[in-house]
Amino acid sequence: MSYSVGQVLYILVKKQQSVIPVQVVEQILRRTLSGEETMYSVNVPTTDGQLTPMSIDDVGGEVFETLDDAHAKMLENASAAIDSLISAALKTANKYFPSEDTHREELDAAEFDGDKQTVEALMDDGTLVKVHMPTNL
């Protein structure tokens, strides 16, 4: 990705669960026998109200050019985490409390993959079956 000197970027730092605004203060183009490499220095606000210059790579996190892009990524991450929790709860419910309702929920939560729909169903005898059905019939 290419940034401009003076541009404000937003870094999603996962380990701190925060979004940090930074400003590009230097672009360094390095040419060697093995190729070209572009590095960026940014000013990072600190808790004491100062700006600390550092390499954008040292800040550590995913870089976004707009807050809307960072927001969309955070929603995507949250949605994936929620889906994972719901899926785990459904699998546990099917394992310990098999019923017609949990099978119906599993069918409602079927995953779509391109032109095929993959459905997992737990049979009465405890066998888990996967059925791949085309959706463009």
40-52 average pLDDT score: 95
Structure confidence at residue 137 as a pLDDT band (50, 70, 90): very low
Summarised one tens digit per residue, pLDDT across range 110-123 is 554 445 566 666 55
Structure confidence at residue 43 as a pLDDT band (50, 70, 90): very high
Strand order in the sheet with 111-113: 111-113, 116-122, 128-134
Task: Assess contact for 44 and 51: CB atoms under 8 A.
Answer: yes
Q: Which H or E element spans position 91?
A: helix 67-96
- Among 75, 67, 65, which residue's Cα sits nearest to residue 42? 65
DSSP classification of residue 56 = H
Residue 60: which residues within 8 A CB-CB, separation 6 or more?
A: 11, 13, 15
Structure confidence at residue 128 as a pLDDT band (50, 70, 90): low
Instruction: State the chain's mean pLDDT as an integer.
Output: 83
Summarised one tens digit per residue, pLDDT across range 84-100 is 899 888 888 888 887 76
pTM for this prediction: 0.65
Q: Which H or E element spans position 50?
A: none
Query: What pLDDT, on a 0 to 100 scale, did the predictor assign at position 57?
Result: 93
Query: What pLDDT, on a 0 to 100 scale, did the predictor assign at position 5?
Result: 97
* β-bridge pairing 18-32 and 8-13: antiparallel
Domain locations in the chain?
A: 8-65, 69-134
| Cα three-residue angle 24-39-32, rounded to 5 degrees | 155
